[in-house]
Each structure stands twice: as structure tokens, then as C-alpha cells.
Amino acid sequence: MIYSSELIKGTLKTIILKLLRDNPRMYGYEMTQRVKELTGDKIQLTEGALYPTLHAMEAEGILQTESEYIGKRVRKYYSLTPKGKTKGEEKISELADFLETMKFLIGAQTSIS
Amino acid sequence: MYSLTDQQIDWILDDLRRRGIETEDLQLNLLDHICCIVEGELEENGDFGQFYSTIITRFYKRELMEVEEETQSLLLFKNYYTMKKIMMTSGTISAALTALGILFKFMHFPGAAFLLLLGIVSFSLVFLPLLLTLRIRERKEIKERIIVVTGVIAGSMLSLAVLFKIQHWPFANIMGFSAVLMFALLFLPLYFFTGIRNPMNKENVIVNSLIIIMGCGLFLTLVRTNQNQQRIQADRTRDYLQQEQLLAHERMLTSIDSAKVLAEEAKSINQLCDDIKKKLIKFDTGLEINPATAYDDKIILTESIANDYFSRETEMSNKIDQLRTSLSNYNQKLSPGMAPLP
């Protein structure tokens, strides 16, 4: 089962922050592949959502970039800024908490029905 | 593994630009991503063109430009809250300054004009433009955007017109009339006829439209018509000339009186007053007229601001100072029981 893009959209920022907390620097394609691997293809980050979010996070000062030439093309590596590290911790624990609540909510509703 | 040539890389970059990707960083990111997919998934002797046209569709729902639009929208969104905060703060400060300015004006405290100037300028040039930027982003339909643009421009012009009017700066009337016309002929019809079609907003739209019409009406009632203006000016000129005649008559009587008190001082004060009046008439009408004979010259005095003239001309401000000194000298020399000059 592949999760719907609506579900992923709300957690995309947190996914990126988690990836970059575990890896010092990553580029866009690498992120999509890593998420695929980690989730057994259940979550596929769409490029159309990933890059706008990466740009916005860079503009917010959460991410920083360094560019490297790969032959004729340029690859942009993303890493966390100090502000991004703090934000990452916050977002990850917020999502974990949210998932616990959701589990309770869905579980509670299932038991009622 | 497929190996991309430099020409193919250039071609992909050109294609991204053609499809509406304008942000350079985004172009580079997408280019690298596509190259990674091609190199990772296409076989060594695969068809690049066909493979590219298949994988590019993964990036969007309808067209690739969506990615550019989403990026721009997210970047703008970052500033959205800051802009909203500045808008609310500037609006609150403008309202507070204007209210305080009006209170100072009524109480004749110093600094009223400065407070009003700051309040109106921040309202017209900070609050309203920010409101325009934010509302335009929220409204998707062209008609709704036109309503926002005309409303904000007219509102801004109207408040600046009031500022220009109270500061006696030029073009206040033309700005005010243009703003009212814009409200009445563009904003209001568009706002009213677009709004009443929506049952949810119908009542609000009718009430707001009535308030706007009443507001414009009240503003226009405060504006004098040209004909009225001329009549008021003619009346005031007549009053002034009658005063001058009375003054000339009184001077004639006092010259007959042999027991003249402080004759020299009085003469110098009279002379100074005549000079100042003569110069003011020239400033207002451009004519060299003796105040005493002005009645025969059929002049009409307008509403020029004497203070503007006094502050601009050093000669005039000197004369005013001289007059003040002469008056205080005169008052000091008066015998007890005689009424001092104001």
C-alpha cells in the first residue's frame, strides 16, 4: 500500500529533518531513494512536493546547501543549520506525539464502532 | 547504466526552462534529479527521448510549472505572517496616532499636525499597501482582485487627500475627488454586483455599500462648491474693505485731535500694519494695492494662508517681529488706566 500524498504532505518537513539528522548531508534524489528503502516503497516522496519544501526550508534558515559539480551538472547537498537541528528535534517529537494521539483516537473509534 | 552526454544535459535544462521552471536553484535540483533517474533506471542502449518523456510526468499533475508555482508560493508564505504582523501593527499605530492627533488638535496642544501626518502616512503608505499585497494573494479571481486594487488605491488616495488638505499642500482637492470618483464609479459597482450574487455575503455587501455611499456623501458635503467658494470670498473681502474704511475714518478723526498720545509710536505701528497688509494682498492677488484704497480696485481676496507667507519670506517675519516690539513698547509707555493694545 502506498500512502496518499495528502498524508505525506503534512509530514514532509519532518521526514526531511529526520533524514538530515541521521545523515550529515543529502541531495534531493538521495532523499527520495532513502525514504523508499526505509519504508519498503510505502512512502514515495514526489519531486513536485520535495523541492519546493527544500527551497522554503532553506529560505527559512533551517537548511543550508553546498553545491558540487558532477560533470556538467551541479548537485546541491542539503544539511541542517543549528536552527534546523533544534527545529528537527521539536518536529520529530511533535510528530511522535501526534502519532500516539492518532493511534489512541483511531483505536478508540474502532472500538466504539 | 546509461551515460548522459553534455548535449543531453543542456537539452534537459532547456526543456525545464521551456516548461516554466524559472528559479535557477530549482532548475539545478531538477536537472540533477532527472539525470540521476536516467542514469539509474535507463539501460545502456535505451531510448533517452522516450524515457525522458515518461519520467518527467512523475514531477507534476498537469504541468511542470506547478513545481515552480509551489516553490514561489511556499517562499511567499514564509513572509506571509511577517507581512500580516506588520500590517496589523501599522494599522493599530496609524489609528492610535490619528486619534491622538485629533485629540491634540481639539485641545490645541503642540504636535497635533505631526501626529496626524505620521498616522495618515503610515495608514496610506504602509497599512493599505500591505493589505493590498496580502488580499491579492488570497483572491484568485480577476474581478475580486480588481475590487481589492481599486478599493485600496481609492482609500489610500482619500486619506492622503485629507492629509494634503490639512497641510495646505497642492493637489489635495483633485486627489480627493479622484478617490471619491474611483470609489463611486469603479469600486462600488464591482463590489456590490459581485458580492450580492453570493447569498452568504449578500447582507454584508449591502450594509458595507450603504456605509461607503454615506461616507462619500459626508465627505462631499464638507467640500465647498466653486460658486459657494466665490461667494464666501467676496463676502470676506467686503468685510475686510469695510473694516479698512472704518479704520481710515478713525485715523482721520484722531489726526484732528490735538491731544495725541504717543503719536510717533502709533504712527509707526500703523505704518507697519499697512505694510504687512499691502504685502499680504500682493501675495494673494499679485496686485500692488494700497489697503486704504482697495475698495475702489474691486479685488477679491482668496484663502491663502498668511502663515505660509510669513514663514517663507524673511522680510515679512522681520516685520512681524518689529510689530510685536513696537506694540509692547507702546503698551509699556501707556499711562495707567489706558487700554493696552492686544
pLDDT tens, chain B, 342 aa long = 788 898 999 999 999 999 989 888 899 999 999 999 999 888 888 889 999 999 999 888 888 988 988 888 787 766 777 888 899 999 999 999 999 999 998 898 888 889 999 999 999 999 999 999 888 877 767 888 888 999 999 999 999 998 888 887 888 888 988 988 898 889 999 989 888 887 777 888 899 889 888 887 887 787 766 677 778 877 887 887 788 778 878 777 776 554 566 667 777 787 788 778 777 777 776 666 665 565 565 666 666 556 666 666 677 777 777 788 877 877 777 766 666 666
Closest Cβ opposite residue A52 in set B35, B58, B71? B71
Phi and psi torsions of B107, nearest 5°: -85, 0
How far does the CA of residue A110 sit from the closest CA of chain B (Å)? 34
DSSP annotation string for chain A: -PPPHHHHHTTHHHHHHHHHHHSS-B-HHHHHHHHHHHHTTS----HHHHHHHHHHHHHHTSEEEEEEEETTEEEEEEEE-HHHHHHHHHHHHHHHHHHHHHHHHHHHHHHH-
Task: Give residue A113's pLDDT.
Answer: 46
Q: How many CB pairs under 8 A join A and B?
A: 72
Cβ(A59)–Cβ(A32) below 8 Å = no
Q: Is residue A108 within 8 angstroms of chain B, CB to CB?
A: no
H/E stretch holding B161: helix B142-167
CA atoms within 13 A on the CB side of B218: 7
Cβ(A72)–Cβ(B9) below 8 Å = yes
Chain A residues within 8 A of B71 when measuring between CB atoms: 51-52, 55-56
Name which of A75, A83, A76, A95 is nearest A18 in CA terms: A95
Full domain range(s) for residue A52: 5-112
CB contact under 8 A, B67 and A71: no
* Rounded-to-integer distance, Cα B175 and Cα B85, Å: 30
CB contact under 8 A, A48 and B66: yes
Chain A residues within 8 A of B59 when measuring between CB atoms: 46-48
Q: Is B303 helix (H, G, I), strand (E, B) or coil?
A: coil
Q: Is residue A67 within 8 angstroms of chain B, CB to CB?
A: yes
Longest dimension (CA), chain A: 60
Most A-contacting residue of B32, B63, B66 (CB-CB within 10 A), to test interface: B32
CB contact under 8 A, A48 and B67: yes
* Rounded-to-integer distance, Cα A101 and Cα A111, Å: 15
How far does the CA of residue A96 sit from the closest CA of chain B (Å)? 25
Q: What is the pLDDT of residues A59-75, one digit of tens each?
A: 888 999 999 998 889 99
- The amino acid sitting at A33 is Q
CA B297, B299, B304: angle at the middle one, nearest 5? 145
Chain A residues within 8 A of B16 when measuring between CB atoms: none
Cβ(A7)–Cβ(A77) below 8 Å = no
**Res. A26: pLDDT tops 90:** yes
Cell numbers found for residue B317: 517675519
Residues of chain B whose beta carbon is less than 8 angstroms from a beta carbon of chain A are 6, 9-10, 23, 25-26, 28-33, 35-37, 58-61, 66-67, 70-71, 73-75, 77-78
Chain B residues within 8 A of A32 when measuring between CB atoms: 33
Cell numbers found for residue B63: 504541468
Radius of gyration of chain B (CA): 36
CB contact under 8 A, A51 and B26: yes
CB contact under 8 A, B78 and A52: no
Instruction: Classify the complex by whether its ipTM is higher than 0.90, answering yes or no.
Output: no
How far does the CA of residue B55 sit from the closest CA of chain A (Å)? 11
Name which of A68, A87, A69, A74 is nearest A20 in CA terms: A87
At A14, which CATH number? Answer: 1.10.10.10
Which residue in chain B is spatially nearest to A58 when comparing CA positions? B75
Distances (CA, A) of A65 to A59, A72, B26, B205: 11, 19, 13, 50
Residues contacting B116, CB < 8 A, separation 6+: B97, B98, B101, B102, B105, B163, B166
Chain B residues within 8 A of A47 when measuring between CB atoms: 30, 33, 58-59, 67
CB contact under 8 A, A55 and B58: no
* Rounded-to-integer distance, Cα B94 and Cα B115, Å: 9
**Res. A83: pLDDT tops 70:** yes
* Rounded-to-integer distance, Cα B97 and Cα B194, Å: 35
Distances (CA, A) of B305 to B111, B166, B192, B238: 19, 12, 42, 18
Q: Is B47 helix (H, G, I), strand (E, B) or coil?
A: coil
Q: How far is CA A57 from the centre of its chain?
A: 11
CB contact under 8 A, B70 and A49: yes
State the total domains in chain A. 1
CB contact under 8 A, B33 and A28: yes
Chain A residues within 8 A of B5 when measuring between CB atoms: none
H/E stretch holding B221: helix B202-221
Buried b (16+ CB within 10 A) or exposed e, B267-291: ebbeebbebbbbbbbebbbeeebeb
